[in-house]
Amino acid sequence: MSARVLVDTNVLVYAYDRSDPERQQRAFEVLDRLSMSNAGVFSTQVFSEFFVAVTRRSPLPFLYRMPVIGITNYLQSWTILEITGMIVLEAARGVRDHRFSFWNAQIWATARLNQISVVLARISTRNRSQKEFVS
């Protein structure tokens, strides 16, 4: 079994962002690989942030359909981690001790308390590097 990887919001946004086809393709490749290996994990926070990110600039209601379909598909086929009170408390500790922003701390805490050692936060392409948080 592969080590589990918590996928951060940015990766999901890249997969739906048509403004950078190379990054979009790479994001889909990474998501497909994580799906096929059953190593990929999302949190409910990621879906909330994703929906806001891809719809905030859209004045047209029909554009809400695509992110809802995407979220629905991931909910049916991936492991989803719920944000709990303990995660919120651990995130607060991450803000205090490591000076993370709260939302990044909550992703870190979700991974940490679920014994996930890798958070995939960026996708590498020829001109961009990949970042990982290690819990």
Q: Which amino acid is at 103?
A: W
Q: 8-12, 32-36, 59-63: lowest mean pLDDT where?
A: 59-63
Structure letter (DSSP) for residue 128: B
Is a pLDDT exceeding 70 seen at residue 127?
no
Q: Supply the DSSP string of 34-49, one letter for each residue.
A: HHHTT-EEEEHHHHHH
CATH number at residue 36: 3.40.50.1010
Distance CA 25, CA 50 (A): 18
The model's pLDDT over 65-115, given as tens digits with 9 standing for 90+, comes to 888 999 999 999 999 999 999 999 999 999 999 999 999 999 999 999 999
User: Range of 34's domain?
Assistant: 5-134
Domain count, the chain: 1
Helix (H) or strand (E) holding 35: helix 21-36
Q: 26-35, 53-62, 117-126: lowest mean pLDDT where?
A: 53-62
Distance CA 63, CA 11 (A): 19
